[in-house]
């Protein structure tokens, strides 16, 4: 009997040890996170004249060495390409392969600028230098590998703090224990899921849904970014730009944001103007848009307009009003006549000229007077519903560029660039992307067989925005998920990002709250409908927007979660609704809430 008990306790002891070992032995993913933490804690800032680091202002910052992993990591925060003409701050990447002489030549070349020396070398490497005084800032990263390059770039741009200390003297420059500590600036950090309490293996389901969506031809491509508490832990691209393309989708691809433009153009501008007491949602369209004062839109309260319950029509197919009938005659048979619908040549021409300066698509330009005057006229003359039920409408967003220009004395493109996109480092957030980027980086949308008679590639998909030269606030903005995330993370952080307060907490709270619950769940410009336009698990405080081209962005303050999905589901036709029918966007979003519950 005693022997049986001894055997039992021995087996119990052994099984407990195995269980304990299984619980405490880190998984490979846990080890990766621990490795990243160790490197992050070690990065040492040895010199920082004028508190140059972390970088607050992003304009005029370049990396000297191009096409390295480090330069690509820096590009996540700002356009640091050396080809930029104006620059003030030089980030100089130095490795053990860099000869001292070559580094000193570069220091001499750029001595009139502020140089940040980034040493991916052992500490002993410093002993070879005689002119470290030429550096405004010096970072010692100790080693040269991808993870170290990644985290060093994050430290330079203030996504993570510098907190390393020297373990030894570096004669004659630095002593053991030296190391300047910095504070993070609230920029996005890039990390692994384990840092936010999610097991990497749980996210394979998101990969599977995205891959299946492409296999089922719900969309040819997809770009996904998910962040928790300001930490990007999932950032992937799937598929190809087109179904028949050999060009894989990648994270630098630029998408047509469609109606996500609303919360990325007009709404941030109007929130900023509200902060400055130049704008109020409780005034009317007539107060801000003079032409509306002689219309039935005069007394529409903007709070009602931006929550889609002011009685506006859902949309107007403006381009259809420019179509005329033409009869073709066959020369060989004068009796044969073929009716055909064409675009009015008084409105559109295939070549740019003084009268037709605004480009609608490839080889298609619109008349300068029709371009805006006629569209505004049709909006102001459109009927207004007597019953003010919720009807999602684009129409008021055609008017806000003029409102913004009147209040700021700047066109909407300039105002958004100066107020948000450039200081955020969101260089791909832009109108008319072909003016800035190679066509190969821009994902095509629909083959437009009715209006423009071509594949829409690099031009805005929305016909109304196209007729405004690509610039509107209901549609027209392009960008990638990474740059869009900077703007949306700023919302999530109560208006703060990168060491700057862009919007007040109070104004953001007002615009994003439910305005007329329970009959209308919308915020001011923002969607808040859980379970339909967003996953069922998002919190009641969450908000976002979807886009016709196949996009969904969602911000969840209660869970600290930012979700961005960009796609071109309209390629080659808008009649493909599989991305909605199969619940692809919300299905992937739900995976991340499931993963959080498994912490």
**Which CATH number covers residue 108?**
3.40.50.1700
Query: How high is the pLDDT of residue 327?
Result: 59
173 pLDDT higher than 60: yes
Q: Cα(240)–Cα(254) distance, rounded to whole angstroms?
A: 13
Query: How high is the pLDDT of residue 333?
Result: 59
Residue 8 placed within a domain:
no
Query: How high is the pLDDT of residue 245?
Result: 79
Q: What is the DSSP letter of 261?
A: G
- Give the model's confidence band at 77: pLDDT under 50 very low, under 70 low, under 90 confident, else very high: very high
480 pLDDT higher than 80: yes
Q: What is the mean pLDDT of the segment spanning 212-223?
A: 98
Query: How high is the pLDDT of residue 247?
Result: 95
Q: Cα(177)–Cα(46) distance, rounded to whole angstroms?
A: 10
- Within 10 angstroms of residue 80's Cβ, the number of other Cβ atoms is 28
Among 1-5, 19-23, 344-348, which stretch is predicted with the lowest mean pLDDT? 19-23
Q: What is the mean pLDDT of the segment spanning 99-121?
A: 94
Strands (DSSP E) contained in 268-347 are 323-330, 333-343
97 pLDDT higher than 80: yes
Report residue 349: phi and psi, to 5°: -140, 155
Asked if 263 and 171 sit in the same domain, the reply is: no
> Which of 128, 153, 185 is a domain's end point?
185
113 pLDDT higher than 80: yes
Can you tell me which residue has the tokens 């996540």? Answer: 76
> Which of 121, 154, 185 is a domain's end point?
185
Question: Which residue did the predictor score with more confidence, 132 or 285?
Answer: 285
Inter-residue contact 299 to 428 (CB < 8 Å): no
Q: Cα(554)–Cα(565) distance, rounded to whole angstroms?
A: 9
Asked if 156 and 304 sit in the same domain, the reply is: no
For the chain, the straight-line distance linking the first and the last C-alpha, in angstroms and rounded, comes to 44
Residue 504 placed within a domain:
yes
Inter-residue contact 183 to 140 (CB < 8 Å): no
> Structural domain of residue 73, as residue ranges?
33-185
Nearest to 360 by CA among 262, 280, 454: 454
80 pLDDT higher than 60: yes
Asked if 494 and 428 sit in the same domain, the reply is: yes
Q: What is the mean pLDDT of the segment spanning 466-472?
A: 97
Instruction: Identify which of 12-26, 120-134, 206-220, 332-346 has the greatest average pLDDT.
Output: 206-220
- Give the model's confidence band at 339: pLDDT under 50 very low, under 70 low, under 90 confident, else very high: low
Asked if 402 and 509 sit in the same domain, the reply is: yes
Q: What is the mean pLDDT of the segment spanning 462-484?
A: 98
292 pLDDT higher than 50: yes
- pTM for the whole thing? 0.93
- Number of domains, the chain: 2
- Give the model's confidence band at 201: pLDDT under 50 very low, under 70 low, under 90 confident, else very high: very high
Residue 298 placed within a domain:
yes
> Which of 145, 160, 185 is a domain's end point?
185
Query: How high is the pLDDT of residue 382?
Result: 97
Asked if 218 and 170 sit in the same domain, the reply is: no
Asked if 178 and 242 sit in the same domain, the reply is: no
- Give the model's confidence band at 332: pLDDT under 50 very low, under 70 low, under 90 confident, else very high: low
Q: Cα(495)–Cα(208) distance, rounded to whole angstroms?
A: 35
Inter-residue contact 536 to 530 (CB < 8 Å): yes
Residue 5 placed within a domain:
no
Query: How high is the pLDDT of residue 6?
Result: 43
- Give the model's confidence band at 130: pLDDT under 50 very low, under 70 low, under 90 confident, else very high: confident
Residue 521 belongs to domain with CATH number? 3.40.710.10
Asked if 475 and 542 sit in the same domain, the reply is: yes
Residue 16 placed within a domain:
no
Q: What is the mean pLDDT of the chain?
A: 92
388 pLDDT higher than 50: yes
Nearest to 235 by CA among 245, 227, 247, 246: 227
CB within 8 Å of 280: residues ≥ 6 apart: 274, 302
7 pLDDT higher than 70: no
Q: What is the mean pLDDT of the segment spanning 196-211?
A: 97
Query: How high is the pLDDT of residue 328?
Result: 52
Residue 328 placed within a domain:
no
Can you tell me which residue has the tokens 């519950």? Answer: 597
CB within 8 Å of 272: residues ≥ 6 apart: 419, 502, 503
Q: Cα(212)–Cα(249) distance, rounded to whole angstroms?
A: 15
Q: Cα(50)–Cα(89) distance, rounded to whole angstroms?
A: 13
Asked if 105 and 65 sit in the same domain, the reply is: yes
Asked if 444 and 489 sit in the same domain, the reply is: yes
Residue 321 placed within a domain:
no
Nearest to 462 by CA among 454, 447, 474, 450: 474
Q: What is the mean pLDDT of the segment spanning 498-524?
A: 97
16 pLDDT higher than 90: no
- In Å, how far are 116, 255, 478 from 222, measured between CA atoms? 36, 10, 15
Asked if 217 and 124 sit in the same domain, the reply is: no
Asked if 302 and 235 sit in the same domain, the reply is: yes
Q: Cα(187)–Cα(493) distance, rounded to whole angstroms?
A: 10
Asked if 165 and 213 sit in the same domain, the reply is: no
Report residue 238: phi and psi, to 5°: -130, 150
Query: How high is the pLDDT of residue 336?
Result: 56
- Give the model's confidence band at 187: pLDDT under 50 very low, under 70 low, under 90 confident, else very high: very high
Query: How high is the pLDDT of residue 14?
Result: 39
- Give the model's confidence band at 1: pLDDT under 50 very low, under 70 low, under 90 confident, else very high: very low
Residue 306 placed within a domain:
yes
Query: How high is the pLDDT of residue 335?
Result: 57
Pairing of strands 137-140, 231-239: unpaired
């Amino acid at each position: 009997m005693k022997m049986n008990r001894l055997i039992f306790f021995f087996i119990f002891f052994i099984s407990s040890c195995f269980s304990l070992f299984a619980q405490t032995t880190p998984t490979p993913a846990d080890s990766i996170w621990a490795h990243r933490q160790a490197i992050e804690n070690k990065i040492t800032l040895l010199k920082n004249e004028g508190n140059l680091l972390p970088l607050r202002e992003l304009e005029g910052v370049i990396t000297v060495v191009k096409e390295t992993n480090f330069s690509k990591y820096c590009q996540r925060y700002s356009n640091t390409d050396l080809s930029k003409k104006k620059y003030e701050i030089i980030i100089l990447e130095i490795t053990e392969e860099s000869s001292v002489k070559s580094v000193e030549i570069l220091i001499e070349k750029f001595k009139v600028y502020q140089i940040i020396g980034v040493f991916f070398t052992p500490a002993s490497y410093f002993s070879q230098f005689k002119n470290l005084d030429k550096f405004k800032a010096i970072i010692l990263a100790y080693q040269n590998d991808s993870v170290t390059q990644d985290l060093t770039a994050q430290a330079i741009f203030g996504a993570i703090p510098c907190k390393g200390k020297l373990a030894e003297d570096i004669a004659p420059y630095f002593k053991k224990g030296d190391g300047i500590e910095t504070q993070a600036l609230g920029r996005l950090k890039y990390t692994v899921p384990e840092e936010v309490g999610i097991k990497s293996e749980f996210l394979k389901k998101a990969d599977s849904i995205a891959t299946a969506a492409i296999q089922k031809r719900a969309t040819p491509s997809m770009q996904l970014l998910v962040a928790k508490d300001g930490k990007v832990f999932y950032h992937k691209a799937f598929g190809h730009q087109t179904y028949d393309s050999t060009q894989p989708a990648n994270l630098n691809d630029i998408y047509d944001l469609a109606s996500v433009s609303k919360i990325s153009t007009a709404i941030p501008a109007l929130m900023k103007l509200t902060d400055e007491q130049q704008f109020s949602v409780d005034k009317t369209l007539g107060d801000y848009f003079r032409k509306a004062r002689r219309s039935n839109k005069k007394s529409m309260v903007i709070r009602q307009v931006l929550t889609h319950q002011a009685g506006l029509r859902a949309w107007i197919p403006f381009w259809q009003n420019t179509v005329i009938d033409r009869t073709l005659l066959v020369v060989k048979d004068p009796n044969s006549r073929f009716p055909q619908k064409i675009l009015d040549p008084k409105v559109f021409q295939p070549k740019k000229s003084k009268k037709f300066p605004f480009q609608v698509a490839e080889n298609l330009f619109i008349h300068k007077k029709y371009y805006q005057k006629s569209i505004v006229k049709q909006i102001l003359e459109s009927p207004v519903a007597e019953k003010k039920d919720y009807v999602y409408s684009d129409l008021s967003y055609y008017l806000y560029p003029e409102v913004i220009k009147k209040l700021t004395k700047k066109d909407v493109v300039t105002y958004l660039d100066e107020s948000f996109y450039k200081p955020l480092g969101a260089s791909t957030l832009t109108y008319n992307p072909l003016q800035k980027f190679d066509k190969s980086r821009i994902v095509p949308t629909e083959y437009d067989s009715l209006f423009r008679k071509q594949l829409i590639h690099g031009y805005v998909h929305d016909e109304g925005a196209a007729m405004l030269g690509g610039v509107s606030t209901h549609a027209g903005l392009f960008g990638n998920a990474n740059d869009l995330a900077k703007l949306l993370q700023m919302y999530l952080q109560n208006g703060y990002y990168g060491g700057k307060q862009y919007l007040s907490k109070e104004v953001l709270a007002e615009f994003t709250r439910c305005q007329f619950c329970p009959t209308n769940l919308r915020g001011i410009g923002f969607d808040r409908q859980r379970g339909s336009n967003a996953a069922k698990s998002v919190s009641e405080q969450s908000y976002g927007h979807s886009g016709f081209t196949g996009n969904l962005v969602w911000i969840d303050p209660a869970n600290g979660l930012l979700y961005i999905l960009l796609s071109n589901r309209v390629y080659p036709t808008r009649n493909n609704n599989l991305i909605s029918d199969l619940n692809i966007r919300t299905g992937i979003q739900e995976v991340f809430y499931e993963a959080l519950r498994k912490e």
